[in-house]
Amino acid sequence: MKAFLYPVWFLLGSIFSYLAFIHWRYSKTPLRPFYLREEEESEDSTQEVLNQNKLAREVVKDLNNYIEKMNSISKKHNRASSIGYFIAVAICLISMFMVYVV
């Protein structure tokens, strides 16, 4: 029975360590902010075009604030998941050790 349990714990530990690594990497890759392309100023710019540009800048500002918040939340979630998987790896290693001791 001990010969069967060691590979199972090793396999589970390997899977958990891979998932911990992946989530840690995801926590370091944020979404990029959105940038509005600047159009060249033309002489026939009307007030309507200027208002649309102002509105577009406000939308981009709000969108970038939202992306910043989501990056923060995503980073926290991925770090928490990674720590949980590292704890699972530690439990797998302790269980592998206990299979041979007990």
Domain extent at residue 72 = 2-29+49-101
36 in a structural domain: no
State residue 42's pLDDT score.
63
Are residues 36 and 60 in contact, defined by beta-carbon separation less than 8 angstroms? yes
59 within domain boundaries: yes
Q: Is 41 contained in some domain?
A: no
In a domain, residue 12? The reply is yes
At residue 6, the pLDDT reads 85
How many domains does the structure of the chain reveal?
1
CB atoms within 10 A of CB 33: 12
Going residue by residue through the chain (102 aa), what tens digit of pLDDT does each one get? 777 888 899 999 999 999 999 999 999 999 999 988 877 666 666 777 778 888 889 999 999 999 999 999 999 999 999 999 999 999 999 998 888 787
Count other Cβ atoms within 10 Å, centred on residue 49: 12
The model scores a pTM over 0.85: no
The verdict on residue 40 lying in a domain is: no
Q: 43 lies in a domain?
A: no
70 domain-assigned: yes
